[in-house]
Structure 1
Amino acid sequence: MNRSTLSLAGAVVVLAVLTGAASLTGGDDSAAAPAGSAVRLPVQRSTLVCPAPSQSEFADTTYASFTPVTTTEGGGTGTGSGTGSAQLATAADKPTVLSPPLKQPGRTVTYTTEKTDAPALVGTADGSLAPGWAAGQTTVVDAGPGRGLLGTSCLTPDSEFWFSGASTADGRQDYLHLVDPDDAPAVVDIELYGKDGLLKTSAGDGITVPGKGSTPVLLSTLATDKAADLTVHVVVRSGRVGAAVQATDASHGADWLPPSAEPATTLVMPGIPADATSVQLVAFAPGSDDADLTVKLATSTGQISPAGHETLHVKAGMTASAALGDITKGDAGSLILTPGNLHAPVPVVAGLRITRGTGSKQEFAFLPATAAIDTRASVADNRDKAATLALTALKEEARVKVTSWPGAAGGTAVSRTVEVKAGTTLSLQPVAATAGKGSFAVTVERLSGGSVYASRELALPLNGVPMFTIQPLPDDRGTVEVPKAESDLTILGK
């Protein structure tokens, strides 16, 4: 076969691939964009990982799985051919699938375990159950040193993570959980940054995470320094992982520390509870320049400057912290960090450690800086009168649709549309959509207006302890922009 014949054959293959891709991604012809433009279509496959829960013999963990009903640009709900599947399974060569599996969008399924050796999980969703698939785990430890409410959303695997507010101080025990969803091992480097910069670590480089497996790393074993406020940087050399920090405090309970949003010049931490008794801000500037930040609290009526903490200076490569006390004063709010006026904007990462209660009845949770919701976000496990949403708008008012979706016990989806005024935080309890006291899912959709930032607090008080956990709600990235492709046989003659 000569070269010109090979070129012709290659062109036919490319043409077939482009034409096939346009037809197999799903969607209605009526929703097609004009030739040469792009259309947003639902994703066809999603992967999530869930870290191993608490090993306490007093732990009770609930997993929840949910996919929202996806609407295409044309107004339809088509998500491609087939019904799809979504399942969580143990991260092992011979995985054990947890039941019941998710069978349809718009319905929550749950699974509960009391096993002390409950493993990390890897989940995959495809077809109609892939767009916006959300899963989470909620653990109640009612006694012992790990007493608390631990909640985390299952994570999308990635190659880099930042954590603000970890600790190696006496009384704290922080484990970084790394989960590899793929067959091949992943290699990970861990960096710890304190108030004086990078900590010397003895074993933070080249940590191997087995394929389809997990590795817990006790942070205090990596460095001899005792630091109360740390920034943790996780960099994956090869492969990909999901990463989360499980923090246990001798007097403040336990919870998961989620990864922070990527470094940015403006950061939002939405949803500080109204009754917070102590709030600790932890920030880090990963570049070569210092950051000067303006600190604001977005309350239900507008933005205010916290007295004595109007600004924060963060030295390059060093972790800065500020004790904000009971900053909310009975009015739930969101912390906003913006560049100061003295110097050029510098990207930073940041997060909050939030405490509720006093004395021996204290409980803490973490709230990292959170990415904005462009279109939609979901949280899978909510309980009647225990879940609270926090919605924050910055410079522009935003119109938001909040929908509660039923669980296995049955029920009807309930929606409401709310307005979030510019520079404010709106706190609301979603209406339960499930009969009885079962778990239900909630979606937050930005309909119009400016950027929206959101989180969900779950409060399950026990024996006088205000046990709670907070999960940030970034955009679910349930759709992807696909270029419009059409067959054009004239390219064969060029």
Structure 2
Amino acid sequence: MSRKDKPSGRRARMQANSASPAPQGEAVASSDPAADSAEAQNGEAGRNVEAAPDSEAKPNSEAMPNSEPVPDSEAMQDSEAMPDSEPVPNERVESGGAVNEAAVPDDGPEIASPASAAEEQPAEDAAKSNVSSADPGKAVAEEEAALTAEAAAEEEAAPVAGTAAEEAAAPVAGTAAEEAAAPVAGTAAEERAAKKEKPAAREKAAAKKDTPEGRVELLVRRKRRRQQAGTAAAAVLVLAAAAGVVGGSLAANPGSAGKSVAIPAADVPAGPLTAVCPEPLRLLAGSVAGTDPQFNPVSGSAKTLLSAVVLSGAGNPVPASSLLKADGSTELKTIAEDAPDADPLAGVRSAGIMGSLPVGEVTVLSAEPSGTLQATANAVVAFSAGDGDLAGLAAANCQTPGNDMWIMGARTTVGATAVLRLTNASESAATVDLELYGAKGRVEGTGTRGILVPPGQTKSIVLAGLAANEPALAVRVRSSGGPVAAVVQQSILRGLTPGGVELIQPAAAAAPQQVITGVRIQDPAATRKLTAERGYESAAPAVQVAVPGSTNAVVSVRVLGAGGDIPLPGGGVFTVAAGSVGQLPLDALPEGTYSVEVTADVSVTANTVTSRGSKADAPVDLAVAPAGERLGSDHLAVLPPDSVSDLTFSAPSGPAEVRLTGVAADGSLGAEQIISIAAGTTVTTPAAGVGPGLAAVLINATGEAVYGSQVLTASKGDGLSVLPLPKGSVGGTSVPVGLGY
């Protein structure tokens, strides 16, 4: 009898349930396991073979004539009688001359034509069929060995009946395709019948496990589950490896877990230099209380001159620079043009000079960068008067605006006038808050908060209206919005006798150590005689210390002279209450120029006040020296006219060297001079000794920490003023750049 290889269980069931007539002359495929086993043993799987006699086969099964299709009800009876999960031997049901196979378990979700069933038959079905005709125990052992040798590709190509995935895809009551093909499915009667069938199917499935076929099928299922578990584990490993690769590509240093990763920095080139030059000193008119006072012109002998120097980098032309009005609307003087007349020589530096320009208002020095560095430039405003109430000498460097600064040494006692001038040279409005500290503690009052300074304007505040009768006042200026420049115009009038003038500049920020240089002390005998007169008590030299914090400060003062330490009465140690300003007299020092080192157990700010003049009926000038910052490279000290400049340096902690280079009036640089400074000493050198006819001196310091200042004395009279050295060269900055959301 010619027949096809055994089709899958689903195809057999589809042939039965669909009630399709068998083609004429074609044998009906058998689902008998014994027949299939015989075919597999004969090695003829996958093509038509002559089947062995079947004891249950009917004589007319070899050539089946055309017959009527089996009704759906009979197919349903076959399906209901035999649950999907129970494999049964081959049975034939004759109905209307057609032979239908009994329902066979659903072995897979795929539905194929009977012609291709032989090619897709899995090898596991043949192995299961062999169990029914051989020794069960031996078959099970052979099956276990065969299963372990099968390739994964063959198993995937030939799905195994009974796997967990197929059981989930083929419910006991029938596949989704069969349910869709049966119009009556889903009725209440069938639902009740299905509920009754499910327990029976579960019982048959449990009984099946005890049979040889069940054990083989169980082994197949276990193997498939192990393969699925291995596939899932491999997928997890692949995902973990991919995550490791991605994580490693994002980490800056994969081998340094737990360490902070430095944020890369972007170099920002230096910007143009902007420095605010204060306006000339003037007398107050009318009430001295409040803000925005009216000023009267000073005496006819008074003059205010502005001198500026702009230095180029090595091998670069002098950067474009000019003097502007405070609002930047008008250029008053050009220092250097944008396009120089000739290219500079390699390694050679030159300077643009502007000297002795009379000014009567606030001005701004502006200079473009020189190469990658900010321009080395400075300007000095010098006021001098030989008569009138403002007789004396006062000078100040043009100041780079900031948002936080300290001004020390202001006086608001009787006859003393202190005017705080705030200038906003930016394009944004500035809101300024003031903190005032006096001899008895912090001074609270109205008018110290929210002071608005519009762009390009100057705000003048009389400090006596905020803190009256203060012999030593410390002012902290803090601005939000635009940065501001701050300076205090200080003047003293003792009766009808001028007591001195000064432009007080900001001191170094609060710190446990402060160094003040350029402390000029006159003959102590003359000072004692002067201070014995009524109203001249404040003419005595002193060091002033402000403690801004909430803890009292134990302050130690060390005076450094040309030969080293100078002892002070009481050892120079005193206590300053928190939030107040304390003073220590320096009238016991011999005549000379000194440096003062102030150390404390908390952060403090400091300055010194000195006077020059010995007669009570003659003008006496005033000098305020603020604490300065450590020197570095390219500090430019401009030498104003009608005065004598001395440069003072000190190295409190160790030896150091200072290199001085003169800048001539024609813009050329002279030879370099080296000055050695021993540890704990002060060195003073005249600027004229660096070179004749100089417009400025370029200063560079090496070695241990060096501090310095410029001391000005009037060519005629007792005028005295002290300038802290300006900041050195400023290069570009590095800004951390982080990428994120």
Q: Which TM-score bucket, shorter chain as reference?
A: 0.7 to 0.9
2:609 is aligned with what amino acid? R
Whether 1:476 aligns to 2:728 is yes
Q: Deviations over 1:282-325 (max 9, x none)?
A: 11111121111111111101112312361121111111112221
Q: Deviations over 1:67-96 (max 9, x none)?
A: 3444xxxxxx256xx753121211136324
1:330/1:85 Cα in 2 relative to 1: closer, same or farther (>3 Å)? Answer: same
Cα drift, residue 99 of structure 1: 4.3
Whether 1:428 aligns to 2:685 is yes
1:333/1:38 Cα in 2 relative to 1: closer, same or farther (>3 Å)? Answer: farther
Q: Which residue of 1 aligns with 2:714?
A: 460
Cα drift, residue 427 of structure 1: 0.6
1:287 is aligned with what amino acid? G
Q: Which residue of 2 aligns with 1:48?
A: 275
1:38/1:326 Cα in 2 relative to 1: closer, same or farther (>3 Å)? Answer: farther
Q: Deviations over 1:421-448 (max 9, x none)?
A: 0000001012367865xx611121013x
Q: Distance in 1 between matches of 2:636 and 2:318?
A: 20
Q: Which residue of 2 aligns with 1:488?
A: none
- Of the three residues 343, 350, 358, the one matched with 2:606 is 350
- Gaps spanning 5+ residues in structure 2: where? 1-262, 283-297, 341-348, 528-539
Number of residue pairs the alignment of both structures matches: 428
Q: Distance in 2 between matches of 1:60 and 1:304?
A: 38
Q: Which residue of 2 aligns with 1:312?
A: 574
Q: Distance in 2 between matches of 1:39 and 1:302?
A: 46
Please state whether the residue corresponding to 2:502 is helix, strand or coil: strand
Residue range with higher mean Cα deviation, 359-368 or 91-100? 91-100
Cα drift, residue 472 of structure 1: 0.8
1:369 is aligned with what amino acid? A
Cα drift, residue 208 of structure 1: 1.3
- Of the three residues 446, 463, 480, the one matched with 1:202 is 446
Q: Distance in 2 between matches of 1:195 and 1:282?
A: 10
- Of the three residues 669, 672, 675, the one matched with 1:418 is 675
1:240/1:220 Cα in 2 relative to 1: closer, same or farther (>3 Å)? Answer: same
1:282/1:108 Cα in 2 relative to 1: closer, same or farther (>3 Å)? Answer: farther
Please state whether the residue corresponding to 1:308 is helix, strand or coil: helix
Residue range with higher mean Cα deviation, 471-480 or 172-181? 471-480
1:363 is aligned with what amino acid? D
Conserved 8 A contact 1:87-1:125: yes
Describe how 1:80-229 pairs up with structure 2 within 5 A.
84-92=319-327, 94-101=329-336, 106-107=350-351, 109-112=353-356, 118-128=360-370, 130-223=374-467, 225-229=468-472
Cα drift, residue 38 of structure 1: 9.7
Please state whether the residue corresponding to 1:54 is helix, strand or coil: coil
- Of the three residues 668, 684, 696, the one matched with 1:441 is 696
Cα drift, residue 53 of structure 1: 1.3
Conserved 8 A contact 1:188-1:209: yes
Q: Distance in 2 between matches of 1:37 and 1:396?
A: 36
Give the number of the structure whose residues are more often strand, by fraction. 1
Please state whether the residue corresponding to 1:458 is helix, strand or coil: strand
Q: Distance in 2 between matches of 1:123 and 1:290?
A: 41
Q: Distance in 2 between matches of 1:389 and 1:230?
A: 27
Q: Which residue of 1 aligns with 2:651?
A: 393
Q: Distance in 2 between matches of 1:178 and 1:170?
A: 24
Conserved 8 A contact 2:312-2:319: no
1:258 is aligned with what amino acid? Q
Cα drift, residue 335 of structure 1: 0.7
Q: Distance in 2 between matches of 1:216 and 1:402?
A: 38
Q: Which residue of 1 aligns with 2:238?
A: none
Describe how 1:365-404 pairs up with structure 2 within 5 A.
365-382=623-640, 386-404=644-662
1:101/1:67 Cα in 2 relative to 1: closer, same or farther (>3 Å)? Answer: closer
Please state whether the residue corresponding to 1:479 is helix, strand or coil: coil
Residue range with higher mean Cα deviation, 228-237 or 199-208? 199-208
Please state whether the residue corresponding to 2:464 is helix, strand or coil: helix
Residue range with higher mean Cα deviation, 421-430 or 313-322? 313-322
Q: What fraction of aligned residue pairs are identical, expressed as a percent? A: 24
1:210/1:384 Cα in 2 relative to 1: closer, same or farther (>3 Å)? Answer: closer
Conserved 8 A contact 2:311-2:318: no
Q: Distance in 1 between matches of 2:732 and 2:659?
A: 21
TM-score, normalised by the number of residues in structure 2: 0.54
Q: Distance in 1 between matches of 2:269 and 2:680?
A: 32
Q: Distance in 2 between matches of 1:237 and 1:475?
A: 23
Q: Which residue of 2 aligns with 1:256?
A: 503
TM-score, normalised by the number of residues in structure 1: 0.79
Q: Distance in 1 between matches of 2:326 and 2:642?
A: 32
Please state whether the residue corresponding to 1:413 is helix, strand or coil: strand
Conserved 8 A contact 2:642-2:714: no
Conserved 8 A contact 2:307-2:355: yes
Q: Deviations over 1:244-287 (max 9, x none)?
A: 11100114210111111000111100111253643121111111
- Of the three residues 571, 587, 593, the one matched with 1:332 is 593
Give the number of the structure whose residues are more often helix, by fraction. 2
1:356/1:93 Cα in 2 relative to 1: closer, same or farther (>3 Å)? Answer: closer
Q: Distance in 2 between matches of 1:418 and 1:93?
A: 40
Cα drift, residue 452 of structure 1: 0.4
Conserved 8 A contact 1:108-1:441: no
2:605 is aligned with what amino acid? V
Conserved 8 A contact 1:68-1:133: yes
Q: Distance in 2 between matches of 1:162 and 1:199?
A: 15
Q: Distance in 1 between matches of 2:328 and 2:264?
A: 43
Residue range with higher mean Cα deviation, 119-128 or 388-397? 119-128
Conserved 8 A contact 1:406-1:433: no
1:265/1:480 Cα in 2 relative to 1: closer, same or farther (>3 Å)? Answer: farther
Conserved 8 A contact 1:42-1:131: no
Q: Distance in 1 between matches of 2:625 and 2:350?
A: 27
Conserved 8 A contact 1:65-1:102: no
- Gaps spanning 5+ residues in structure 1: where? 1-35, 71-76, 340-344, 486-490
1:269 is aligned with what amino acid? I
